[in-house]
Amino acid sequence: AQTVTQSQPEMSVQEAETVTLSCTYDTSESNYYLFWYKQPPSRQMILVIRQEAYKQQNATENRFSVNFQKAAKSFSLKISDSQLGDTAMYFCALEGSNYQLIWGAGTKLIIKP
Amino acid sequence: ETGVTQTPRHLVMGMTNKKSLKCEQHLGHNAMYWYKQSAKKPLELMFVYNFKEQTENNSVPSRFSPECPNSSHLFLHLHTLQPEDSALYLCASSQDTGGLTDTQYFGPGTRLTVL
């Protein structure tokens, strides 16, 4: 079975700090995609970043980057220079063998001024 | 964000009511999805449509009835719901469902409360 686990229900950091959100997954597929989605209080689910499993280079999008450890099945999200607008629920997701997304339970991130 | 819209944003209904949720995507995508998001639980995929054809029904109770008249519109018809059906219902779309590169784009959701 394919699973996604986010072990941190909630985190809070001061503005401008760097924060890392954890995600581990399990799959028997050799090629797959991993995603981080952000859901702010407005509820709109927004794609933050995605990683192709066959690419060794970690994906980056401005202040957002991932640490993808394929052997360890780990896919953490690092947010640098955190901003108040980064306050949101963050969901890790794995594209499963039937091309459907398998979701983690989410991490609530609070950026404090 | 106006790529995927959902109406209404909030809905309160009794267990004997019949209501419908509407989703519309303006991205030219071929696939559309309904998800249920309950507190502290992973998103639950309910239905998938690709080119107007239902390709997935993840054991959803029959009191939820989807309808996809065209690739741009998706409805979720609700009848005789239970209080445990109260949740945020999210619609998403993607270019297709057939490949690993199809990123899903989400609407803002409908917050449903069943009394």
CA distance B23 to B34: 9
> Cβ B106–A45 below 8 Å, yes or no?
yes
| Contact (Cβ atoms closer than 8 angstroms) between residue B88 and residue B21 | no
Confidence (pLDDT) at B27: 93
Q: How far apart are the first and last CA of chain A?
A: 41
Overall average pLDDT of the A9-25 stretch: 97
- A 10 A CB-CB count for B6 gives 22
Report whether pLDDT(B59) > 90. no
Report whether pLDDT(A34) > 90. yes
> Cβ A33–B104 below 8 Å, yes or no?
no
Span A62-105, pLDDT tens digits: 999 999 999 999 999 999 999 999 999 999 999 877 777 899 99
Overall average pLDDT of the B26-32 stretch: 92
Q: What is the Cβ-side half-sphere exposure of residue B58, based on CA atoms within 13 angstroms?
A: 15
> Cβ B108–A35 below 8 Å, yes or no?
no
B interface mutation test: which of A99, A102, A107, A108 has the most B CBs within 10 A? A99
> Cβ B104–A104 below 8 Å, yes or no?
no
> Cβ B42–A106 below 8 Å, yes or no?
yes
Span B102-114, pLDDT tens digits: 788 999 999 999 9
CA distance A19 to A8: 12
Could you give the angle at the alpha carbon of A27 between the alpha carbons of A26 and A33, nearest 5°?
Answer: 100
Span B65-110, pLDDT tens digits: 999 999 899 999 999 999 999 999 999 999 877 555 578 899 999 9
**What are the distances in angstroms from CA B56 to CA A18, B42, B97?**
40, 18, 11
Confidence (pLDDT) at A96: 74
**Where residue A41 falls among pLDDT bands split at 50, 70, 90?**
confident
Distance from CA of A94 to the nearest CA of B (A): 10
B88 touches chain A (CB under 8 A): yes
